[in-house]
Structure formats: C-alpha cells, structure tokens
Structure 1
Amino acid sequence: MRLVPKNNGMGWATYALLGYLGFFLIDPILDHAGAVTWVWTGLGLLLFLVLYFTLFWLCGWKSVVCAFAVALLGVAYLPSNGGASCFFIYAASFLAFEEKAATSFKYIGGIAALLAVELYILHRPPVAWFVDIGLVIMIGLLNVYFSQHGRAQKKLIRAQEEIEHLAKIAERERIARDLHDVLGHTLSVIVLKSELASKLLEVDPGRAKAEMVDVEQTARHALAEVRQAIGGYRSNGLTAELAQARATLETAGIKVECEQTPVTLPATQESVLSLAVREAVTNVVRHADAARCRLELRAADGVCRLSIQDDGRGGSQQEGNGLTGMRERVEALGGTLRRETKGGTRLHITVPLGTEAGHA
C-alpha cells in the first residue's frame, strides 16, 4: 500500500516536510512532560499523519475539508502546546494548491483568521501573533506562487506537445501530397506505356522495346524525384531536433546549455541521434525534476559523441522501453550508449561517423 500517489511531483520532499513536526515536540521535551501529555501528543501526531497522507489522495472540496481538519487539530492542541501552530502552516500549505489562486488566497486567509482568533482567546503575546500568523501567510503565499508557476509550466508543455503533434500531422500530409505529386502522374504513365508495350509485343516488337525503354527511364526519373523529396525531409534533422530540444526544455523552466560542433552525418546516424535527443529530453522534462540540462554534440577521430546531462533526481538503473530501443539502434550502428544516474542523469552516446560523414 502506497502512502502517496506514484509520481506525485514532490518525491522525497513529501517526507522531508514532516520534519517541521519537531516544533510540536519542543514543549513536551522542555517541560519534561509526563505519560499523559506524551500520549496526548502522540495521538495528535497520529491524527495529523493520517490527515497528511490522506490529503495527497484527495481533490476538490474533500481536500479542502481535510486541510481545515488539520487546522482544527491545531485549534485543539495550541492551548497546551505552542508548537501546534505548525498544523495551521501545514493546512495553509495544502490549501495553496487550489486551481485558482484567488480561491487559495481566501482559504489561507481563513486559516490565518482562525489562528488569530485562537491567539486572541489564549492571550498570546504580540510576538506569537507576528511569528505564527506571519509564517502561515508567508508559506501559504509562497506555495500559491509555486503552485501557479507549476500549472503554467505544465500548460506550456502541453501546448508545446500539441504543437509538435500538429506539426507531425502537417508533415505527414505534406509528404502524402508531395509523393502524390511526384509519383501520381509518373506511375500512370508507366502503367499506360507498359500496357501499350504488352499489346505491341507481337505486332511491333521494335516499338514495344522502345516503349519499355521509356518505362525504364520514367521509373528511374521517378526514383530520383522520390530520393530528392526524402532527402529534403532529412536535411538538418539533428540540428532541428537540438533546437526543438532547447525550446522544449526552456518551456519547462529548465536552463539549457548547448554546445554543438557542426557535423555532417549519414542519414541513418542522424536519424538515430535525433531520436535519442527526443527520447532523452522527454525523460528530462517528465521525470527528472531538473533545473539545468546540458546538450553536447562533438565529432572527432571518426566518432560523433552526443551527451545529455541534467541535475535532476537521477533514476533507476533499470532501462525502460524507450531507452532500450535507443540502445539497440545505437549498437546496430556499431556505437555505444552509457547511462549514469548518480547526481542526476548523464547519457553518453557515440556512433561512428562513417565514410560519407565528417566535419561540415
């Protein structure tokens, strides 16, 4: 049974944030509390932990009710334990993740007002008002900012993915139109001439032979046109993919460093490296939680080296389908793929340049 949903976006921070519960233990420790007080304190901790981990599974009004239940836990414990103000801070933190910032502001204001009323009833000194309410408002507003910023980044990423999807559809349609324009008329001519040659074979073998020569020339011409069209699709594939990778990473709020040596690659190598860049950058954006990413492409001594490094959370040594497919394509070219996951993820790919490639 999981305590929090998989890929909740917080990772280890989900558990690190529980460290603030230490404030709730200060009063019992300093007061050398007896068994009854410790049982009461332990009950509060248990109730909080249940509410805390439940909040990660809830949304909508249910999460709001659960967050205010955390605040009410603070109401119950604050008279006997000054550290219980941390419950109000936790409540404000969770309420900061509402879809609309204005809604979060209202809820955080409600938590601050609830705390103010209790501090007034308990006749707490001004410093308690300043510190406790100040922390509730400050941490709540900071979380609102991070929440809204994260939502905006996700919208930008979705928009970028939609643009890429539409671009692929448009490219497929363009290829279909181009191939129709290139081959449609030519294949019709080949069919007609082949039929004519078949009919003339017994009547006029010389003319039939001439028609077949025309068919051969027409077919060669069509083949050349198709190769030219496909060559146009492949041009600057890796360069364009690196530019797209930079745009995608920057859209996700990741700082990008890109160092590229101009290099001319055979179509197969270029296609494999382009797919590797796309797969690696997708993993960085979706899974790495990185702040920086470095892309490096170099060519020397007959080898092209592609390196993609991020400072994110790293990952499992086990390879997924995308990485496995990438490794198979690279090794099929006689290249190597090396992946390191300590202190971020580093992907190093080398492929031979081939006889037709070299520095541009």
Structure 2
Amino acid sequence: MSQDSINSTCKSEDKFAWVYLINLVFYFIPYFIIDMPVWQIGLSLAALVPFIYCYFWAYRSTSSRAHLPILAMIAIAIIATPINTGSLSLFTFAGFFIGFFYPLRKAMLCILALITTLFLLNQGLNFDHYYWVIYGAALVIGVSLFGVVERTRIENKHKQQKSQQEIRQLATMLERERIARDLHDIMGHSLSSISLKAELAEKLLAKNNIEQAQLQLSELNSIARDSLSQIRQTVSGYKHKGLTASVTNLCQTLRDKGLNVELDGDIPTLNNDLETQVILSLTELCNNVIRHSQAQECRLSFSQNEHGTIVQVTDNGQPKSIEQGNGLKGIQERLQQFKGSLTWDLNQHCQFTITLPQQ
C-alpha cells in the first residue's frame, strides 16, 4: 500500500495530533527537581516552539520527506539537552515517527543511530552516570514500537475502507446489471410487439386498409397499457411494498385479462432483497401466462416443506414445449443469487415451480 494512502488516512485523524503532545509533560520534570535559573527555563521553553512546528510537519509528511522534520526534531533535542535533560521526551517523538514512516529494518538502523547520539551526548556533556542514556534508549525503543503499531493500524484501517469501497462499487454494478436485466425481461417483448404493430399499422394505412389498421392500433394501445402496468409493478417491487400486495395485483391483472384465478396457501414473509426477486419472477411468469399460454384458468400457490418455500404458477394452457428465452433465464439468474431454482412441468398442465431455501 502506498504511503500517500496511509497519509490520507492519517490526516483524517489530525484532531488526535494535539493529544499525543501530552508526552511533553516529561520535558518539564527537571523544572521541579533541579534548581534552574530563569534564563535556562526560558531557553528550554523557547525550544518547544520550533519543535512543535516540526512535530506537525512530520505528522503531515510523507515517507519520502519525513527525514526532514525528523532530523529537525533531533537537532532541536540535541540543542536543548545541555539546557534541559528532559529533552529525552523530544527524542521519543523522533523515535515514534521513525517507527511509523520506515520499514522495520531501516527503522532499526535509525533507532540505533539515535541511541548512539544519546550515548555521545551523555559522554560529551560529562553526565556522572549512564542512567540518562539507558533510560533514554529504553524510551526511544518503546515509543518507536508504538510508531510501528500505529502504522499497522492505519494500514489496516485503510485496507478496510478500500475493501468497503470496493464492496459498494461491486454492489452498485450488480444493482445496475439487475435493473438492466429486469427492464429487458419486462419491456423487451412489449417494445418489440409495439414496433411490429406500429409498422404493420403504417403499411395497412398506406394500403388504405383503415379497419385492419385500427385493429392493430387498438392492440398496440393494449400492449402499451400492459407495459405501463408491468413497470408500475416492478417499481412497487423495488420499493418493497410487499409480496402480498404484489400477488394481489398480479391476480387482479390476470382476472382483468379474462382468466379465472385461484390463490392457495399463505404468502410467506421474505427479506427485502429476496422478496423483490420473487415479485419480479412472478410478474414475468404471469405475463407469460397472459401472452403465450392461451389459458382460461391460473392458480398461484404457496407452501412450505422441509426444503423451504415452494411457489407455483399453474395454468390450463397446453403448450407442447417451453422455449427458454431471456425471461426464464432472467428468473433463474435472480433465484440463483439466493440458492433458489425454477423448474417447469408440462405433463398435465403448464406448471412453473419456484423453490426457495429455508431462511
């Protein structure tokens, strides 16, 4: 993962940058245990101004340029050490950013160089003991490990955000494909029929066959009304108005076309996504009954067994075979998403069976 991506995620947490400055409390400890003159206190406080600037510079930097604010913080800490031995806290900030910005091997070498700097300062300033350098080395190593942990946390957070974004994009693509398939299934046949009827009416009018042209235009109007009804039913399905309401509307549509309709069983409660797909599937099957079956009776039945929910659409039409067009393929694709299936039987009546697994 690129460092720019990490920095982008890190910048979104800039509000926490001030919180981490609480570690500067250790910088002020010598003020209370050593009798320091006012000028010395003033100089050590003045050193904090450029240090805090470098701290935020590093916080918003990239790995390719992080060495600049880190070196600046180390330089300020070195200059402040003769004035205030609490400068160890300044070195720890540099250790944190080293652990955060650099790979482990490079970070270890940098931390070793930083500890060597502490040792040389201890020797150069003639401290009476090695407590300062030992304590400082332990702090720098510990805080640098916090930098590594923070880097890992930011990386994981960025990966999670990227994964969620990819999931949203995939869901959007699938939704677009589903809507395109639904529109094709619902409107493809109707629009083809409208085009053919309009073309035929135009030819009949050209031959001055007014009566036949009016008949074709009347059928065209009927197809357009049916298409509008299908679109409304589909929109109702998208809005999750419920399977019960949709089945009731389908039954009424079948009756309006002159079929005797029977509804058996209790309509199940399904989750919204599956419910929408069942509504669209039943809409397609009922439209096929109206367009192709030449039936006088139709029965919709709902039942439960050990395998799940069974939905059947049966009519008394007598087709010799079923041509599996885009409509039936679309239903199978919808149901497969939920481990469901569509089968049909032409032995006695034309019967389509939707099988839904247990939820």
TM category (shorter chain) comes to 0.5 to 0.7
Residues 186 and 218 of structure 1 are in contact (CA less than 8 Å); yes or no, is this contact kept in structure 2? yes
Assess, with a 3 A threshold, how the Cα gap between structure 1 residues 229 and 207 changes in structure 2: closer, same or farther: same
2:30 to 27, 31, 38: 27
1:13 to 11, 16, 24: 16
Deviation at 1:28, TM superposition (A): 3.7
SS of 1:58's equivalent?
A: coil
Assess, with a 3 A threshold, how the Cα gap between structure 1 residues 105 and 166 changes in structure 2: closer, same or farther: farther
Mean alpha-carbon deviation: is it higher for 168-177 or for 200-209?
200-209
Assess, with a 3 A threshold, how the Cα gap between structure 1 residues 157 and 12 changes in structure 2: closer, same or farther: closer
Q: 1:73 and 2:73 equivalent? A: no
* Residue pairs, 1:1-360, within 5 angstroms: 8-98=11-101, 100-119=103-122, 122-123=126-127, 125=129, 127-200=131-204, 203-230=208-235, 233-235=238-240
Deviation at 1:57, TM superposition (A): 4.1
Residues 194 and 215 of structure 1 are in contact (CA less than 8 Å); yes or no, is this contact kept in structure 2? yes
The residue number in structure 1 matching 2:253 is: none
2:167 partner letter: I
Assess, with a 3 A threshold, how the Cα gap between structure 1 residues 92 and 182 changes in structure 2: closer, same or farther: same
Residues 104 and 144 of structure 1 are in contact (CA less than 8 Å); yes or no, is this contact kept in structure 2? no
Residues 187 and 227 of structure 2 are in contact (CA less than 8 Å); yes or no, is this contact kept in structure 1? yes
Deviation at 1:70, TM superposition (A): 1.2
1:87 partner letter: L
Structure with the greater alpha carbon radius of gyration: 2
1:179 partner letter: L
- 1:171-192 residue CA offsets vs partner (Å, 9 max, x unmatched): 3244234423432342132122
Deviation at 1:153, TM superposition (A): 1.5
SS of 2:100's equivalent?
A: coil
**Distance of 1:99 and 1:180 partners within structure 2:** 54
**Distance of 1:184 and 1:10 partners within structure 2:** 51
Residues 71 and 87 of structure 1 are in contact (CA less than 8 Å); yes or no, is this contact kept in structure 2? yes
1:34 partner letter: P
- 1:23-58 residue CA offsets vs partner (Å, 9 max, x unmatched): 323324443322331333233223323322332343
**Distance of 1:232 and 1:83 partners within structure 2:** 69
TM-score by length of 2: 0.55
**Distance of 1:116 and 1:9 partners within structure 2:** 37
Residues 196 and 211 of structure 1 are in contact (CA less than 8 Å); yes or no, is this contact kept in structure 2? yes
Assess, with a 3 A threshold, how the Cα gap between structure 1 residues 12 and 58 changes in structure 2: closer, same or farther: closer
- 1:142-177 residue CA offsets vs partner (Å, 9 max, x unmatched): 121122221121122113212322331343244234
SS of 1:97's equivalent?
A: helix
Assess, with a 3 A threshold, how the Cα gap between structure 1 residues 61 and 110 changes in structure 2: closer, same or farther: farther
**Distance of 1:95 and 1:103 partners within structure 2:** 9
Assess, with a 3 A threshold, how the Cα gap between structure 1 residues 233 and 73 changes in structure 2: closer, same or farther: same
Structure 1: gaps spanning 5 or more residues:
238-261, 268-360
SS of 1:218's equivalent?
A: helix
Identity of aligned residues (%): 26
2:143 partner letter: I
Aligned length: 238
SS of 2:66's equivalent?
A: helix
SS of 1:32's equivalent?
A: coil
Structure 2: gaps spanning 5 or more residues:
1-7, 243-269, 276-359
**Distance of 2:9 and 2:156 partners within structure 1:** 22
**Distance of 1:230 and 1:110 partners within structure 2:** 68
TM-score by length of 1: 0.55
2:197 partner letter: K
Deviation at 1:90, TM superposition (A): 1.0
SS of 2:12's equivalent?
A: coil
Assess, with a 3 A threshold, how the Cα gap between structure 1 residues 103 and 169 changes in structure 2: closer, same or farther: farther
Assess, with a 3 A threshold, how the Cα gap between structure 1 residues 91 and 41 changes in structure 2: closer, same or farther: same
Residues 97 and 147 of structure 1 are in contact (CA less than 8 Å); yes or no, is this contact kept in structure 2? yes
2:94 partner letter: A
